[in-house]
A and B are shown apart, each in its own frame.
Chain A
Amino acid sequence: MVYLIRWLIGKLRHRTTSPAEAPDAPPGRDEPAVHPRGDRVVRSARPAAPDGTSGAPALSVHHLSKRFGARVAFDDVSFDIAHGEVFGFLGPNGAGKTTTVRTLGTLIAPSSGSATVAGLPLTPDNGVEIRRRISIMPESPGLYLRLSVAENLGCFADLYETPDPGDRIDRALRAVNLADRASDACGSLSKGLRQRVALARALLPDPQVLFLDEPTAGLDPAATRDVHELIAELRRSGVTIFLTTHRLEEAERLCDRVAILNTTLRTIGRPDELRDRLFAKTLTVKTLIPLPEPGRVFAGLPAVDGWRQDGARDYVLAVSDPTLAAPAVTRALVQAGADVLSIGESRHSLEDVYLELVNEDEEARRR
């Protein structure tokens, strides 16, 4: 009560109990990686390197782990994310994706390892400043349902201490196509619209790093497309995006690189790199009738490393370079008098990569 009165008369600035003054509040209880410190720091300008290649990484994670007692949430995770990069973080339920986001967002403390977030080391002293530079859109929108859209955003604009909040709210609402719903109560909005409000809220502080935890979960295709367009727009404006998603086609379409987490980091790279790394390149040949001597047709062709029959009239050729192999295979088939129905390169999706790795883990666990 004493403090309330002091605050009301404007003296609290000098008298509020700090963690150092409060023996009952050991450092690290409130803000695991994060302790209130010193005066407000003026926000640094966003690094002007949206090409994803230059400058210090926007996020740098080294051997980061988080355990809850005996349970390991994620273990020994390391990666760097460049400024302006859209980084996809994939993994099955319980893989540790959300815990990773919370850890990097200074909501929970890592058990071991280190990280740099938006240019600041993830230490107890830097929590407030890190949170000033980043924004997290959690999986659940977490809106105040009795408040209007504008009231929700107004509250968060004040929490981020954004200058000119009215203008910032307008821009954020326009970005998610909700300018005409500003006075609607959030409780009256559909799930998709609530998700968009949450996205607008995440855009308010003009973050250097934006963490999006399943941003399209539960959205219809049109709303999903809108969110995708927004992410692409943010990328163009240089925002680094850390995107966790279950939608593999979303990750493939939006992300420069993806990481697959299953408690430990299973793989990381560009989607096409991961495909190449995990799956041999193949050509699939389909003929009208079975080839009498397929071994003779496919033997010795350039860039063809081997072949196998897949069904009566289908042949799968392992190739080192599809662009070299395909013309040679076509010529050989024509010379052999085969009636060719199709020749095509087998495309493995990111989903194949994902399932391959996750299934490997499942099998390893069973063993």
Chain B
Amino acid sequence: MSVSRRRVRAIFRKELREYRRNRTIVTGMAILPLIFLVQPLIAVLNLGASASGGLARENELLYLLAIPALVPATLAAYSVVGERQQGTLEPVLGTPIRREEFLLGKALASFVPSVAISYAVYAFFLATVEIFAQPGIAPALLRGSDLLAQLVFTPLLAGWAIWVGIAISTRSSEVRVAQQLGILANLPSVVVTSLIAFNVIRPSLVVAIGGAAVLLILNRLGWRMTSAMFDRERLITGTR
């Protein structure tokens, strides 16, 4: 089976255009990162220089990994049920598009902005700390291992959140319900990253490799699960 890049790109571009012009989605994409950015930023900026020693032993920035777990969930949860509610799904599925092309286009359209936002928020956080925090705070926070974790786990978490979100979206009949379920389904990811960030689970190389392996497997399973749940007839008629 071949996948047409042109068709995947068509869905991807169409989705991005729609996101850009949909105020609800833009607001949703902006609010979650802000929530996760503002509180730690205020906390770090209020730290004195003497706190840098304590910071060096903590991993609070991993807390920002909640962003790639939650932002794509809302986008992906909207992707299929949103089309269904607009009545645009039938014309699209009436074209020669294959299930895989449709899902890839949708997934990419959630993946690219979510990962970009996550990295941007992280970069903004570090830049702000570097410029405005007390001396010693920025070097204590900016560690190679944290940066690597952010780079590696952001796409992995986003991928899993997307497949779960799309799977929920294929079976929902309401956008709002799908988005709420999408966030709910990704809360375990947020809990795990928070437990690591606050040292409840001690971060180590083994934990990182294990976590990445689990997420890779979950991504693979998510793709297969979403493909299996994508039922053209059910999506068109609402039956079966």
Contact = CB atoms under 8 A, between A and B. Distances in A.
Interface of A: 1-5, 7, 12-13, 16-19, 22, 24-26, 29-32, 34, 36-40, 68-69, 99, 102, 105, 107-109, 128-129, 131-132, 135-136, 138, 140-147, 151, 154-156, 158-161, 198, 201, 205
Nearest to A140: B87
Given A68-B239, A131-B95, A132-B96, A24 B225 contact: yes
A17 B237 contact: no
Contacts of B219: 1-3
Contact of B91 (A5, A99, A136): A136
A144 B22 CA distance: 11
A108 B233 contact: yes
A147 B86 CA distance: 13
A107 B17 contact: no
Given A2-B220, A30-B99, A22 B232 contact: no
A158 B86 contact: no
A142 B91 contact: yes
A4 B111 contact: yes
B7 A161 contact: yes
Contacts, number: 167
Nearest to A10: B5
B156 A31 contact: no
Given A7-B104, A22-B227, 16 more contacts: A2-B216, A7-B8, A7-B108, A16-B3, A19-B227, A24-B227, A25-B228, A31-B99, A107-B236, A108-B237, A109-B233, A138-B90, A138-B94, A142-B91, A151-B14, A160-B96
B14 A147 contact: yes
12 contacts: A1-B111, A3-B104, A19-B227, A30-B232, A102-B237, A128-B98, A129-B96, A131-B96, A138-B87, A144-B17, A156-B91, A159-B7
A290 B87 CA distance: 61
A29 B111 CA distance: 26
Interface in B52-110: 86-100, 104, 107-108
Interface in B1-49: 1-4, 6-11, 13-14, 17-18, 21-22
A7 B95 contact: no
Contact of B100 (A16, A99, A161): A16
A194 B104 CA distance: 28
A142 to B, nearest CB: 4
B17 A151 contact: yes
B21 to A, nearest CB: 4
A1 B158 contact: yes
Contacts of B9: 158
Contacts of A135: 94
Going nearest first, the 7 A-B pairs with the smallest beta carbon separation are: A1-B159, A158-B10, A24-B228, A25-B228, A146-B21, A159-B95, A30-B99
B165 interface: no
A198 B7 CA distance: 19
- From B2, B91, B215, B219, residue with most partner A Cβ within 10 Å: B91
A305 B87 CA distance: 55
A18 B3 CA distance: 10
A5 B107 CA distance: 11
Best-surrounded residue of B11, B227, B233 (most CB of chain A within 10 A): B233
A13 B2 contact: yes
B202 interface: no
Nearest to A43: B96
Contact of A102 (B89, B97, B100, B236): B236
Interface string B140-164: 0000000000000001101110100
B122 interface: no
Contact of A131 (B3, B94, B162): B94
Q: Which residue of A3, A12, A32, A108 has the most chain B CB atoms within 10 A of its CB atom?
A: A3
Interface centre among B90, B215, B232 (most CB of A within 10 A): B232
B227 A155 contact: no
Contacts of B159: 1-2, 4
A202 to B, nearest CB: 9
Nearest to B219: A1
Contacts of B215: 1
